[in-house]
Amino acid sequence: MIVFAQFSDTHLDGRKGRAERAAAVVAYLNGLSMPLDAVVVTGDIADHGLPAEYEQARTILSASRHPVFPCPGNHDTRALYREILLGENGGADAGVPVNRVRHTAGALFALCDSTIPGRDDGYLADETISWLDRVLAERPDVTSFLCFHHPPAPLHVPYVDSIRQFGEHRLAALVARHPQVVAILCGHAHTPAATTFAGRPLLVAPAVVSTVTLPWEHGDIADEQAPAAVAFHILDDQQCLTTHYRVVTCDDGPRPVRMR
């Protein structure tokens, strides 16, 4: 069985409130009664892609007792994301998509860069599609999760849908070639959501910074007073995937840890 968490869109910008929300999520996960196989963070970690924002993000995320698997969002900048958050040479291949693969609990997590520098909508570059196809072809027997920022399908929230991931037919064809792909994980929408894409679950993480207002709800485009939230994904031994969502308030704090 694989158990991992997912959250998204911390939009850290140096302000105390946003940092407290992100730190509360990490503290909540640290206080769980069992270790997680991973914590996937699906982009928009920084708000303006500034060095100080990534320093803040590194401090908060490095406090996690679980492995953290991040991918970039449209508010992130590739060079500083590489340099400060990943500890790599940010100047090398500064314009190249930040694609990484991680392994845990017998599963593969393909962390893809769906960003288009300078734009809010998303697209998987041809080199990302080729990289992903190669990574999956090399391990056809390994349970795999595809992770990126932008949803590749409409969520029926007009503002979100206008800046989703486009060119998705290429990704759909890729998924069809690789039956070991169990699910697709993304963020960007600032609302927990579940749908299907290319016959697989498409699971959208809640945002830490705010919650988007749905078309039939009243209020502004997003509610920054709504609590942060996190998703838990469980893949059992029968390859059945279950997702639970939990809200996290800033006063939850760390809890006693009971390792099993």
Tokens at residue 229, please?
């939230």
- Distance CA(106)–CA(157), nearest Å, equals 35
Q: What is the CATH number of domain 2-248?
A: 3.60.21.10
**pLDDT number for residue 251:** 66
- Residue-range domain boundaries for the chain: 2-248
| 220-239 pLDDT tens trace | 888 988 999 999 999 999 89
- Distance CA(209)–CA(241), nearest Å, equals 27
**pLDDT number for residue 91:** 63
Location of structure tokens 């007009």: 158
| 39-76 pLDDT tens trace | 999 999 999 999 999 999 999 999 999 999 999 999 99
Alpha helices in 93-167 (DSSP H): 126-138, 158-162
Q: What is the mean pLDDT of residues 73-92?
A: 88
**pLDDT number for residue 259:** 28
Q: What is the DSSP string of 35-77?
A: --SEEEEES--BSS--HHHHHHHHHHHTT-SS-EEEE--TTS-
Alpha helices in 44-180 (DSSP H): 51-61, 78-80, 126-138, 158-162, 168-177
Quote the pTM value: 0.92
End-to-end CA distance of the chain: 14
CA angle at 69 for the pair 63 and 74, rounded to the nearest 5°: 105
Model confidence at 257, pLDDT cuts 50, 70, 90, reads very low
Q: What is the mean pLDDT of the chain?
A: 93
Model confidence at 138, pLDDT cuts 50, 70, 90, reads very high
Comparing 60-74, 154-168, 208-222, 229-243, the range with the smallest average pLDDT is: 208-222
A 10 A CB-CB count for 186 gives 32
